[in-house]
């Protein structure tokens, strides 16, 4: 094969569950045929804005109490404007980090959700770039 | 109506920086797939004097000395980010032409000026992380020129509306003919004997003379410099950065089969164009969309792309890939208005030898190639062939090491955030 795997830019996380279906019985059309609806597509639920949505993998336990564990996949929407108390992916000192954004009295913090991690205050000469807002967490129970 | 040309700034370098913050602020070059030369540069790399096409191996020491980050090209990433940039702009304009992987022409209403351009710029930047420049003008040629000026003049902050320039002739007189879209070095040497050196000269030149020197296309460009729009949005001049084919359906289309037939036809056309230009495509993107002006119909638009391990211009290979992509994005239950494709990552025929040894079965073009290899084996002896093949393999492995991850197209290569 010279053709590489097709690479969708939209997530291919589609879960196809027909809402209504019936096996076709010999000779008789299904009474449900007129009520057939489109399968559920998990993208529609998780991805509001495909062009601005990225998936980011989590490493570390600092967000444990917010239900974000190491190995989880974050659905990150860059088109949303960051607000206080949202969980964000931020660019800090050349790395990506996931934390809760806190703005208090003109001061900005990145807070962990785990008592073992102290909040990080962003000093005035430090550059904080909010890379995107975490809208969903894809977590596999184990 | 005005045109806007939106052009991504240092697109490949910008894509890399979205996912690797440590590359921000330092010189960065991207290497070509096949011959290890520089095909993209960050602003810092340009300022160091690194030229397009500079061979990587000759500059290793220079790169090290100046802390230049060197990456192989990652077309899967660039293709995906390109699709996102285009998707971010599409809903806010009435018409758009994807001109290349990093450029698009937009149709603007008369009321849409620099403020609108700044909004688009901010939106693309926020959604995708990619900085763009916008040039606005009554013709495509002038929009391209305005875009160039916007990029060159930092105080413009990436936006220039040519219709608001007070002394436009003075501006045109500072643009050499070789910098005009579609003229380039080759055509400008035909103009200089006629005393036509700048865009202003060309604008006021005798059209009959221009036609004699450059043909109808040259005449059109000259008229466009004078503000007479000759190139429409759908028209795609033969820029070698990419070839596109797309069309709106006369009536809405619902079935996959109809979409497949249309797309296969467009793909065949692209194959013809590639072979006529003696070019190979390295990357193929396909898109579908519903009628976004219909308020009652459910909306869907999607795209997908693939990278060819071996760049191709074979229609059979292109169609197989295009249809695969189409099937991956097709959804039942929508009334489709348009489908199309574009190919990028072009290389000249004959320049791509890399895969000669790794893939020579089952392809119409593979058989003659295989015959040539066998012939060479007989004529020159096994040693020659072995050396060549090992050499390419080694460089290939090195380049693979320098490629960034496919952050947006592979589950196994997602960006990582520390928690």
Task: Return the pLDDT at B350.
Answer: 67
Q: Apex CA B327: angle with CA B324 and CA B329, to 5°?
A: 115
Greatest alpha-carbon pair distance for chain B in Å reads 70
Q: Which residues of B143-158 are buried (b: 16+ CB within 10 A; e: fewer)?
A: bbbbbbbbbeeeebeb
Task: Return the pLDDT at B391.
Answer: 33
Burial of B257 (0-12, 13-18, 19+ CB in 10 A): exposed
Closest by CA position to A42, among listed A7, A73, A71, A81:
A73
B112-141 per-position pLDDT tens digit: 899 999 999 999 999 999 999 999 999 999
Task: Return the pLDDT at A35.
Answer: 72
Count how many pairs of residues, chain A against chain B, have C-beta atoms within 8 Å.
134
Ranges of chain B whose pLDDT falls below 50: 235-239, 352-367, 369-371, 381-400
Q: What is the ipTM of this complex?
A: 0.78
Closest by CA position to A97, among listed A55, A127, A46, A57:
A57
Task: Return the pLDDT at B384.
Answer: 42
Q: Is residue A128 helix, strand or coil?
A: coil
Contact B73, B30 (CB under 8 A): yes
What domains can you pick out in chain A, each with its CATH number? 13-46 (no CATH), 50-138 (2.10.109.10)
Contact B274, B266 (CB under 8 A): no
Query: What is the pairing mode between strands B103-108 and B96-100?
Result: antiparallel
Closest by CA position to B12, among listed B106, B75, B103:
B75
B155-177 per-position pLDDT tens digit: 889 999 999 999 999 999 999 99
Q: What is the mean pLDDT of residues A10-25?
A: 47
Contact B416, A57 (CB under 8 A): yes
Task: Return the pLDDT at B57.
Answer: 83
| Closest Cβ opposite residue B306 in set A7, A10, A54 | A7
**Which listed residue (A14, A62, A83, A85) is catalytic?**
A62
Contact B342, B285 (CB under 8 A): yes
Tokens of B13: 């370098």
| CA distance linking residue B38 with residue B392, whole number of Å | 18
Burial of B66 (0-12, 13-18, 19+ CB in 10 A): middle
- CB-CB under 8 Å, B328 with A8: yes
Q: Which residues of B touch A51 (CB under 8 A)?
A: 83-84, 87-88, 127-128
Task: Return the pLDDT at A28.
Answer: 63
Closest by CA position to A93, among listed B415, B24, B16:
B24
More confident position, B243 or A110: A110
Contact B333, A18 (CB under 8 A): no
Reported pTM:
0.69
Contact B263, B286 (CB under 8 A): yes
- CB-CB under 8 Å, A7 with B305: yes
| Closest Cβ opposite residue A10 in set B302, B308, B309 | B302
Q: Is residue A90 helix, strand or coil?
A: strand
Q: What is the DSSP letter of B418?
A: E
What domains can you pick out in chain B, each with its CATH number? 2-8+106-225 (1.10.150.20), 243-348 (3.30.1490.100), 357-399 (no CATH)
Is the per-residue pLDDT at A88 higher than 90?
Answer: yes
Task: Return the pLDDT at B366.
Answer: 45
Task: Return the pLDDT at B399.
Answer: 44
Q: Apex CA B342: angle with CA B364 and CA B51, to 5°?
A: 100
Query: Given 3-state DSSP classes, what are the helix, strand and coil percentages for chain B, each rounded to the nearest 5?
Result: 50, 20, 30
Residue corresponding to tokens 């952050």: B407
For chain B, what is the total number of helices (H) and then of strands (E)?
A: 14, 14
Give the residues across from A3 on adjacent strands. Answer: B308
Q: Which residues of B278-311 are buried (b: 16+ CB within 10 A; e: fewer)?
A: ebbbbbbbbbbbbbeeeeeeeebbbbbbbbbbbb
Greatest alpha-carbon pair distance for chain A in Å reads 76
**Which listed residue (A14, A21, A57, A99) is catalytic?**
A99
- CB-CB under 8 Å, B305 with A9: yes
| Closest alpha carbon within chain A to B333 | A38
Q: Please indicate whether residue A79 is annotated as part of the active site.
A: no
Å between A85 CA and nearest CA of chain B = 16
- CB-CB under 8 Å, A4 with B308: yes
Contact B136, B225 (CB under 8 A): no
- CB-CB under 8 Å, B306 with A51: no
CB atoms within 10 A of CB A11: 20
The per-residue pLDDT of chain A, averaged, comes to: 83
């Amino acid at each position: 094969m010279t053709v590489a795997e097709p690479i969708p830019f939209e997530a291919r996380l589609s879960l196809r569950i027909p809402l209504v279906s019936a096996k076709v019985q010999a000779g008789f059309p299904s009474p449900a045929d007129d009520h057939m609806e489109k399968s559920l597509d998990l993208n529609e639920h998780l991805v509001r804005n495909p062009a601005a949505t990225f998936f980011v993998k989590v490493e570390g336990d600092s967000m444990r109490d917010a239900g974000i564990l190491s190995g989880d996949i974050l659905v990150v929407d860059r088109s949303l404007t960051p607000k206080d108390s949202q969980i964000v992916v931020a660019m800090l000192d050349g790395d990506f980090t996931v934390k809760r954004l806190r703005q208090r009295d003109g001061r900005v913090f990145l807070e962990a959700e785990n008592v073992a991690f102290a909040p990080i205050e962003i000093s005035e000469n430090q550059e904080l770039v909010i890379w995107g807002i975490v809208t969903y967490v894809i977590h596999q129970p184990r | 109506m005005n045109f806007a040309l939106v052009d991504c700034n240092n697109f490949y370098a910008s894509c890399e920086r979205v996912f690797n913050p440590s590359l921000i602020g330092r010189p960065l070059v991207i290497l070509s797939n096949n011959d290890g030369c520089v095909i993209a540069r960050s602003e810092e790399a340009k300022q160091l004097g690194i030229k397009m096409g500079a061979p990587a191996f000759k500059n290793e020491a220079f790169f090290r000395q100046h802390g230049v980050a060197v990456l192989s090209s990652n077309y899967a990433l660039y293709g995906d980010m390109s699709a996102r940039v285009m998707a971010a702009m599409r809903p806010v304009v009435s018409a758009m032409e994807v001109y290349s992987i990093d450029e698009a022409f937009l149709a603007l209403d008369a009321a849409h000026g620099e403020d609108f351009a700044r909004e688009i710029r901010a939106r693309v930047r926020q959604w995708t992380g990619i900085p763009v420049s916008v040039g606005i003008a009554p013709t495509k040629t002038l929009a391209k020129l305005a875009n160039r000026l916007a990029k060159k003049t930092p105080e413009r902050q990436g936006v220039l509306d040519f219709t608001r320039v007070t002394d436009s002739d003075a501006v045109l007189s500072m643009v050499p003919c070789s910098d005009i879209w579609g003229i380039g070095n080759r055509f400008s040497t035909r103009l200089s004997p006629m005393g036509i050196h700048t865009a202003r000269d060309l604008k006021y030149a005798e059209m009959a003379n221009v036609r004699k020197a450059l043909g109808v296309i040259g005449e059109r460009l000259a008229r466009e410099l004078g503000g007479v729009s000759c190139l429409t949005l759908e028209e795609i001049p033969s820029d070698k950065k990419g070839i596109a084919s797309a069309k709106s359906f006369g009536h809405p289309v619902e079935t996959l089969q109809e979409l497949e037939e249309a797309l296969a036809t467009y793909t065949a056309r692209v194959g013809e164009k590639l072979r006529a230009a003696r070019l190979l495509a390295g990357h193929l993107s396909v898109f579908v969309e519903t009628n976004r002006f219909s308020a009652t119909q459910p909306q869907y638009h999607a795209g997908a792309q693939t990278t060819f391990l071996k760049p191709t211009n074979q229609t059979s290979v292109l169609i197989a890939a295009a249809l695969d992509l189409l099937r991956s994005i097709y959804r039942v239950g929508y009334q489709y208005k348009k489908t199309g494709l574009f190919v990028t990552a072009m290389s000249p025929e004959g320049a791509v030898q890399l895969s000669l040894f790794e893939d020579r079965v089952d392809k119409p073009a593979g058989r003659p190639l295989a015959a040539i290899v066998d012939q060479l084996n007989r004529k020159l002896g096994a040693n020659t062939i072995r050396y060549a093949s090992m050499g390419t393999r080694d460089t290939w492995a090195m380049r693979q090491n320098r490629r960034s991850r496919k952050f947006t197209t592979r589950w196994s290569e997602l960006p990582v955030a520390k928690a």
